[in-house]
Amino acid sequence: MKKEFHCNCKSGCRNRRCACLKNNEPCDENCTGADCHNPLNGVDVDALSVCAIQNIEEFQELSEEELAEEHELPCGCEHVPLRSLLDDYTCQGCSEVYWYSFCWQSVVQDSCTWHCEVCGQCRDWREWHCERCNKCTYGVSLPCKHCGAGGPYQGMFEKGLS
C-alpha cells in the first residue's frame, strides 16, 4: 500500500506530532524531516498490532527468550509463543482470534478487546471513543460520561433496530 502522507518534522520525529508516527508508519525517503528518530523506522509495522506499534519501545526491548516464551490462550486450547501474538493469531482449536496487549500485559481476545489509537490504550469492547470530547467512555448504548454525547448505538434498542 502506498503511503499517503509524509512528514516535515523539525524535532526529529520523536513524538506523535510527526505525521508518520501519528499514523503508525515509519518515515521514508519522501519525508523531509531533519535528524529523524522515528522508532518505527526499520520495523515491519504490517506484522504488528496497533497496540504493539503504539508501544514500540516496549516491543523493541523484548529479548529472543521473551519472544519465544509461550502464553496460554484465554480459551485454553493452545500455548503460543509471544512472537505469534504480536498481530492477530487464530487459535487452531476454536478459531478465535487473539493478540498480545502491551497495555494489559496479557493475551486478549480480539472480539472482546480493541486498542484506541487516539488514547493509546487497550479497551473493553463495550467502550467507545467519543469524537466530541476526545476521550474513551463505557457503554456503547450510553451517552458519553464525560460530555453527554450520544454513543455509537444509543437509541438503537429503543427504535427496535437491534
Q: Judge whether 33 lies within some domain.
A: yes
Grid coordinates in use for 77? 486450547
Task: Give the whole-angstrom CA distance, residue 150 versus residue 140.
Answer: 9
Q: Judge whether 48 lies within some domain.
A: no
Q: Do 90 and 110 share a structural domain?
A: yes
Task: Give the whole-angstrom CA distance, residue 146 versus residue 45.
Answer: 33
pTM here is 0.85
The confidence score (pLDDT) of residue 45 equals: 94
3-class secondary structure, 86: coil
Digit-coded pLDDT (tens) for 56-107: 999 999 999 999 999 999 999 999 999 999 999 999 999 999 999 999 999 9
Q: Do 104 and 72 share a structural domain?
A: yes
Number of domains forming the structure of the chain: 3
3-class secondary structure, 123: strand
Q: Do 75 and 106 share a structural domain?
A: yes
Q: What is the mean pLDDT of the chain?
A: 91
In DSSP terms, 89 is beta-bridged to 98
Q: Which domain holds residue 138?
A: 126-162
Asked if residues 115 and 100 have their Cβ atoms less than 8 Å apart, the reply is no
Residue 46 makes CB contacts below 8 A (sequence gap 6+) with none
Please name the amino acid found at residue 157.
F
The confidence score (pLDDT) of residue 15 equals: 87
